[in-house]
Structure 1
Amino acid sequence: MNIGLVFPGQGAQYVGMGKTLLDQYATARDTFAEADERLGFQLTKLCLEGPEAELRLTYYTQPALLTASIAFYRVLAERVDVQAMVAAGHSLGEYSALVAADALSFSDAVHLVYQRGRLMDAAVPAGQGTMAAVLGMEEDALAEICAQVTREVGEVVEIANLNCPGQIVISGTVAAVAKAGEAAKATGARRAIPLTVSGPFHCSLMEPAASEFGKLLDATNIADAGIPVVANVDAAPHQKAAEIRDVLKRQLYCPVRFTDDVLAMRAMGADMLLELGPGAVLSGLIRKIDKGILTANVEDDATLEQAIQRLTN
């Protein structure tokens, strides 16, 4: 079996994530303690106790999800020899993939994504930007609608996430996203669902944040990856440190091409994708992208045992 690792992004978090693994495994507790020490605040307490509104703030969400994902990965690796051939993540999850691939140290990654969240939060004033999921429309048609609305309104709306066939997220100003959603429904989309997010991620409104974040990336040690990591921006595998740095800089304002990421991993020979992190959203998307790929997820003691059983049988 050829195994790929996938790691979730923002939206997967919930209060109490990882509690059963933290209770049972010193490895998980040590991972969270390392994050607490590097960040200088009690991320562990926030993850386990909330409040939820605080956990949803992007500069807390990002290090929280990365820490949980890496804790779950380390616990799994302690129990079974995973031997993954490739890794990828959805947006923020790409940083977890790079830690798993030994391109980034966990300590540097948790610091980076905390600063990434702060810069993303500051890039667009609260309430001015948003995102919406458009269901039942092809990429080219939706891209044309976004371009037309941008011309008409004079404000940005762009494709942000290509999650699976029939599910595309758009991002931009509140007015432009709303208008594009209505136009998409009028043109045949089944639904346009506003998302509860703190900003318009993965569109050109994030370019100021990307510029500042690029300086942090340049000051961070990035090594060649031990296994290929399929990047969101181009759905291509990367292992060289210079390439990794480049795609991370562009990731903030470019679409997340998760559908193409999965197809790329499949083309590389991966026949099982293992999701490490809270929830199982990516596993659901993967089944819609390619029903032939086996999936498993690890987020608590029960799913850990199920994943180990699938990996060892």
Structure 2
Amino acid sequence: MPRHISILFPGQGSQYIGMLDNLPTELVESFRSLALEALSFDIIDLIKNGNEEDLNKTSITQPAILLTSFIYFKHLQNSINFKADLMCGHSLGEYSALVASNSIALGDALKLVYQRGLLMEKSLEGSMYAILNTDIDIINEFCMKVRDDKNMIVSTANINSPKQIVIAGENKAVETVVSDLKNNGYKKCIKLNVAVASHCKINGKS
């Protein structure tokens, strides 16, 4: 039976200072001038030597993850010389998949996600949580109650698996849902490292 290779690129929230450090310096440096021309600031230096507050800004996070993902992809290609049958991504990761599959140029993608991040930063303040080991119907019920009672935005944003559901919305609404879940025995709620609430109606209010 033939082996099929699929590549899944990560989305926002996976960023950290130094995430390029495990890659060959020569490979990373080969992308510096392209990234600098596309963004007009040295994002590689920011990834390597910056601070988390700057990196976690959505307009910085998105090109940083895209560039890092693509360089890791190239390193993997150089190491084992494979051809992927399928490429996909979590949210922002879709852009990384498009670049890796030669559907869009890296420089154009960096410009695009930088502007995308700037637009998203204009949305209402919000947050996201991963809810573990809780049925989606229960999560939806708690979200609906907060929406009805407080007239605020909160909803299911991602179904990563039957055991990991992500909710997103306005800060107070999301925190209320999480508190209600925990008070009812659903304790595993993990706040995501994102500066905006994606995949919910909060973006439509910006």
- Paired position in structure 1 for 2:73: 73
Closer/same/farther in 2, CA of residues 19 and 196 from structure 1, 3 Å limit: closer
Q: Which amino acid aligns with 1:195?
A: L
1:230-250 Cα deviation digits (max 9, x unpaired): xxxxxxxxxxxxxxxxxxxxx
Distance change (3 Å), C-alpha of 1:18 and 1:61 = same
Give percent identity, aligned residues only. 38
User: Is 1:11 matched up with 2:13?
Assistant: yes
Task: Please show how residues 173-188 of structure 1 align to structure 2 within 5 Å.
Answer: 173-188=170-185
Report the TM-score, using the length of structure 2 for normalisation.
0.90
Contact 2:54/2:60 (<8 A) preserved: yes
> C-alpha distance in 1, partners of 2:32/2:74?
11
TM superposition shift of 1:166? 1.9
In the other structure, the counterpart of 1:151 is 148
What's 1:311 paired with? none
State the match for 1:54 in structure 2.
54
Mapped to 2, the partners of 1:76 and 1:132 lie a distance apart of 31
Paired residues of 1:182 and 1:192 also in contact (CA < 8 A):
no
CA distance, structure 1, for counterparts of residue 193 and residue 8 of structure 2: 23
Query: SS at 2:180's partner residue?
Result: helix
Q: Assess if the C-alpha contact under 8 Å between 1:149 and 1:176 holds in 2.
A: yes
1:96 equivalent to 2:96? Answer: yes
Per-residue CA deviations over 1:38-72 (Å, capped at 9, x if unaligned) read 10111111011012221111111110110011111
Unaligned residue ranges in structure 1 (runs of 5+): 210-313
Q: Note the C-alpha offset of 1:78.
A: 2.8
Instruction: State the TM-score, normalizing by the size of structure 1.
Output: 0.61
- CA shift, 1:3, in A, is 0.4
State how far apart, in whole Å, the 1-side matches of 2:84 and 2:193 are: 33
DSSP-derived class of the 1:122 partner:
coil
Q: In structure 1, what is the equivalent of residue 167 of structure 2?
A: 170
- Provide the aligned C-alpha RMSD in A: 1.8
Given that 2:14 and 2:193 are in contact with CA atoms closer than 8 Å, whether structure 1 keeps it comes out as no
Which runs of 5 or more structure 2 residues have no equivalent in the other structure? none
Is the 2:32–2:42 contact (alpha carbons within 8 Å) kept by the matching residues of 1? no
Say if 2:137 is the partner of 1:135: no
Is the counterpart of residue 202 in structure 1 residue 204 in structure 2? no
CA 1:196–1:17: 2 relative to 1, 3 Å: closer
Q: Tell me the equivalent position of 1:30.
A: 30
1: CA distance, partners of 2:11 / 2:73: 15
CA distance in 1, matches of 2:192, 2:15: 15
Cα separation, 1, equivalents of 2:194 and 2:158: 14
For the residue of structure 2 that corresponds to 1:113, the secondary structure is helix
**Is the alpha carbon distance of 1:58 and 1:22 closer, same or farther for their aligned partners in structure 2, counting shifts above 3 Å?**
farther
Name the stretch that deviates more: 8-17 or 28-37.
28-37
SS at match of 2:122: helix
The Cα shift of 1:108 comes to 1.1
1:74 to partner: Cα distance = 1.6
Cα distance, 1:33–1:165 mapped onto 2, change above 3 Å? farther
- 1:12 and 1:188 map into 2 onto residues whose CA distance is 28
1:161 counterpart = 2:162: no
Q: Name the amino acid aligned to 1:64.
A: A
The one-letter code of the counterpart of 1:120 is M
- For residues 153-187 of structure 1, the C-alpha deviation after alignment (integer angstroms, 9 at most, x for no partner) is 10010111222332212111122112211222344
> Equivalent residues in 2 for 1:215-234 (5 A)?
none
1:109 aligns with: 109
SS state at 1:19 partner: coil
- Given the superposition, is the C-alpha separation of residues 152 and 47 from structure 1 closer, same or farther in structure 2, using an over 3 Å criterion? same
2-side partners of 1:111 and 1:189: how far apart?
Answer: 41
The one-letter amino acid paired with 1:131 is M
1:208, distance to aligned residue in structure 2 (A) = 5.2
